[in-house]
């Protein structure tokens, strides 16, 4: 951890304490992780340059969406590993590395499940009842199961990074509200919609009592996926719009909760779902936009979504790494964060923070998922492996602060993905991934000047320079 802190301090000072307006500094992570956040040679903008392999033009006068941040999800299984399978010093080091903006990578957009997911040790809601019984007044409502591990983890993260955005999401309403007496599959009964609204309000109020205030709420994770062996519910768009407009929105307002609702929380391949929900006149006043997942479709569908409803934002709320992926983890997540933000995403949030080498804990659902880190508790003390997803997020989350704006950048070269931002202090941040096996030189054109930079083979780089103000 000492070596890592030195590297982080070094790279942070290189990028953020820039000596002059025309000086560019950067860091590199190679796809094989032989180099991680390694400093690159600095360079200066000049009036002219020698022709390079790639030209990227950056223009901060063309501004797009504001960025909330980058992160993962506070699933119960990950929280359990962090709280019970690490020594106190390991846990402190891991949390600092994940969430501290100066000593770590400053993850700043996190998803908070409402009760259990597939990456939990058991299935539970906050109001479980024996089969055949119901509790519409929430007399048995309790968040006790998440007080042990989830809430302490979230509070520590918020302490390390108070500027964090939280997106709350249920994987299922309690079984007694559904068409089947189970959290695994089925659908929300129409007559139970007022009770479900009360349940979500009570969940947000319980979070607040724990010192946790989500800015956003989705009403159902992956509503087009009627699950079989882990919590999930079928919830079609017309029911979602009716529920938000008639029950949930008024209940949030009556409880004086400022949390805004995000539509959908599912894959890119059905954009008509969130568009129809956010267009509903009764639901719209309570909504901030749409939540998207990566498992079907492509990120560019978000361009059409934005064009059809530019007043509403778009958040990438789930994309898990896993053994099914053929590319290296760094490459997968680099492509995701660049393509998502190039196409209007305000945040990029991966799935579980930590899992063990066998993809546990999980209860049904994904047994092949990958966390940002792997905790192997068969060794004492536990060994910790930081995966490529972590380093890919680091290239964005450490250098693109909450409140930054996606700005225009263009490059017409196959094999190089890139995206640019301007931080609230004026710093320009350029993130690029070289997907080829050859190192490239890059001409970055900005304000009628050019700087020539290196783009190592199969590597993710972040370059930054301070714009004159």
Tens digit of each residue's pLDDT (9 = 90 or more) over 404-456: 999 999 976 778 999 999 999 999 999 999 999 999 999 999 999 999 999 99
Whether the pLDDT of residue 328 is over 50: the answer is yes
Q: Is the pLDDT of residue 207 over 90?
A: yes
* Secondary structure string (H, E, C) spanning the chain: CHHHHHHHHHHHHHHHCCCCCCEEEEEEEECCCCCCCEEEEEEECECCCCCCCEEEEEEEEEEEEECCEEEEECCHHHHHHHHHCCCHHHHHHHHHHHHCCCCCCCCCEEEEEECCCCCCCCCCCCCCCCCCCCCCCCCCCCCHHHHCCHHHHHHHHHHHCCCCEEEEEECCCCHHHECCCCCEEEEECHHHHHHHHHHHHHHHHHHHHCCCCCCEEECCCCCCCCCCCCCEEECCHHHHHHHHHHHHHHHHHHCCCCCEEEEEEEECCCCHHHHHHHHCCCCHHHEEEEEEECCCCCCCHHHHHHHHCCCCEEEEEECCEECCCCCCHHHHHHHHHHHHHHCCEEEEEEEECEECCCCCCCCCCCCCEECCEEEECCCCCCEEEECHHHHHHHHHHCCCCCCCEEEEEECCCCCEEEEEEECCCCEEEEEEEECCCCCEEEEEEECCEEEEEEECCCEEEEEEEECCC
Q: What is the pLDDT of residue 56?
A: 94
Mean pLDDT of 385-408: 98
Mean pLDDT, to the nearest integer, of 250-262? 98
Which pLDDT does position 3 carry in this prediction? 41
> Per CATH, which fold does 2-65+405-466 belong to?
Immunoglobulin-like (2.60.40)
pLDDT in tens, 33-89: 999 999 999 999 998 766 788 899 999 999 999 999 999 999 999 999 999 999 999
Question: pLDDT confidence of 213, banded at 50, 70, 90?
Answer: very high
- Tens digits of residue pLDDT in 158-182: 999 999 999 999 999 999 999 999 9
pLDDT reported for residue 20: 43
> 16-25, 30-39, 220-229, 262-271 — which is least confidently predicted?
16-25
The pair of three-digit structure tokens given for residue 284, joined into one six-digit string = 């719209």
| pLDDT given at position 21 | 54
* Tokens 């450490």 sit on residue: 398
Res 393 pLDDT > 60? yes
Determine the pLDDT at residue 51: 76
- Please check the confidence at residue 13 and state whether its pLDDT lies above 50: no
Question: CA–CA separation, 91 vs 94, rounded Å?
Answer: 5
Residue 325 · residue 291 · CB < 8 Å? no
What's the rounded Cα separation, in Å, for the pair 134 and 140? 10
Domain boundaries, the chain: 2-65+405-466, 68-397
* Cα dihedral sign, 223-352-30-456: positive
- 238-265 burial, b for 16+ CB within 10 Å, e for fewer? ebbbbbbbebbbbbbeeeebebbbbbbb
Question: What are 108-159's pLDDT values in tens digits?
Answer: 999 999 999 999 999 999 999 999 999 999 999 999 999 999 999 999 999 9
By DSSP bridging, strand 23-30 and strand 38-44 are antiparallel
Q: What is the pLDDT of residue 468?
A: 66
Query: How far apart are alpha carbons 350 and 249 in whole angstroms?
Result: 27
Domain topology for 68-397: TIM Barrel (3.20.20)
Does pLDDT of 5 surpass 80?
no
């Amino acid at each position: 951890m000492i070596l890592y802190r030195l590297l982080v301090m070094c790279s942070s000072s290189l990028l953020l304490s820039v000596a002059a307006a025309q000086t560019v500094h950067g860091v590199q992570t190679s796809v094989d992780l032989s180099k991680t956040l390694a400093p690159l040679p600095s360079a200066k903008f000049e009036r002219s340059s020698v022709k390079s392999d790639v030209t990227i033009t950056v223009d901060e006068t063309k501004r797009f969406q504001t960025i909330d941040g980058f992160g993962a999800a506070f699933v119960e299984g990950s929280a359990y590993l962090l709280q019970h399978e690490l020594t106190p010093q390991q846990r402190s080091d891991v949390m600092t590395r994940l969430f501290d903006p100066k000593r770590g990578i400053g993850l700043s957009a996190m998803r908070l499940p409402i009760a259990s997911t597939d990456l939990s040790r058991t299935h539970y809601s906050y109001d479980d009842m024996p089969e055949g019984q119901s509790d519409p007044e929430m007399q048995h409502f309790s968040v006790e199961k998440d007080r042990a591990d989830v809430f302490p983890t979230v509070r520590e993260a918020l302490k390390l990074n108070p500027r964090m955005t939280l997106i709350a999401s249920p994987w299922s309403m309690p079984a007694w509200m559904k068409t089947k007496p189970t959290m695994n599959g089925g659908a929300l009964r129409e007559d139970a919609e007022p009770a479900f609204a009360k349940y979500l309000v009570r969940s947000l109020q319980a979070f607040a009592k724990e010192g946790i205030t989500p800015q956003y709420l989705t009403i159902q994770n992956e509503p087009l996926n009627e699950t079989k062996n882990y919590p999930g519910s079928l919830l079609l768009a017309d029911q979602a719009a009716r529920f938000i407009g008639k029950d949930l929105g008024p209940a949030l307002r009556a409880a004086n909760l400022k949390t805004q609702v995000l539509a959908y929380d599912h894959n890119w391949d059905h954009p008509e779902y969130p568009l129809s929900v956010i267009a509903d006149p009764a639901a719209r006043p309570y909504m901030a936009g749409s939540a998207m997942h990566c498992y079907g479709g492509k990120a560019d569908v978000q361009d059409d979504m934005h064009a059809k409803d530019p007043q509403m934002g778009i958040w990438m709320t789930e994309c898990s790494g896993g053994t099914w992926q053929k590319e290296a983890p760094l490459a997968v997540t680099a492509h995701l964060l660049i393509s998502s933000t190039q196409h209007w995403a305000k945040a990029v949030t991966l799935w579980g923070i930590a899992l063990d080498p066998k993809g546990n804990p999980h209860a049904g659902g994904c047994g092949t998922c990958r966390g940002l880190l792997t905790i192997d508790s068969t060794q004492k003390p536990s060994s910790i492996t930081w995966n490529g997803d972590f380093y890919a997020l680091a290239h964005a989350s450490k250098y693109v602060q909450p409140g930054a704006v996606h700005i225009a950048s263009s490059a017409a070269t196959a094999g190089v993905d890139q995206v640019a931002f301007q931080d609230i202090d004026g710093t320009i941040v350029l993130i690029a991934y070289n997907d080829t096996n050859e190192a490239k030189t890059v001409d970055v054109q900005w304000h009628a000047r050019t700087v020539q930079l290196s783009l190592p083979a199969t590597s993710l780089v972040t370059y930054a320079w301070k714009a004159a103000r």
